[in-house]
Amino acid sequence: MLVKWIRCSVVDRRGFERGQRKWAGLLGEPGFRGQGGGWSRGRQGVAHVFTFWESRAFYDSFMARSHDRLAAGQSGTYKDLRAKLFDHRFDVKTGFEPRFTDVDVVRVAHCRVREPRVEHFALMQEKVWNPAMAGSPGMVRGLFGEAPGHEFLVLSMWQSAAEHGKYRAERVERLALRAQTEADVAALAGDIVELEPSWTV
Cα–Cα distance between 129 and 126 in angstroms, integer? 6
Q: Please, are residues 78 and 71 in contact by the beta-carbon 8 Å criterion?
A: no
Residue 12: Cβ within 10 Å count: 13
Distance CA 76, CA 26 (A): 21
pTM: 0.95
pLDDT, position 153: 98
Contact (CB, 8 A) for 163 and 144: no
pLDDT at 193: 98
Model pLDDT, residue 24 = 96
pLDDT score at 94: 81
Domain over 2-199 is classified CATH 3.30.70.100:
yes
State residue 167's pLDDT score: 87
pLDDT in tens, the chain (201 residues): 999 999 999 999 999 999 999 999 999 999 999 999 999 999 999 999 999 999 999 999 999 999 999 999 999 999 999 999 999 999 998 889 999 999 999 999 999 999 999 999 999 999 999 999 999 989 999 999 999 999 999 999 999 999 998 888 888 889 999 999 999 999 999 999 999 999 999
pLDDT of residue 169: 80
**Confidence (pLDDT) at 95:** 87
Give the tens place of pLDDT for each residue, 140-165: 999 999 999 999 999 999 999 999 98
pLDDT on residue 172: 87
DSSP conformation class of 47: E
Dist CA 165 CA 137 (whole Å) = 12
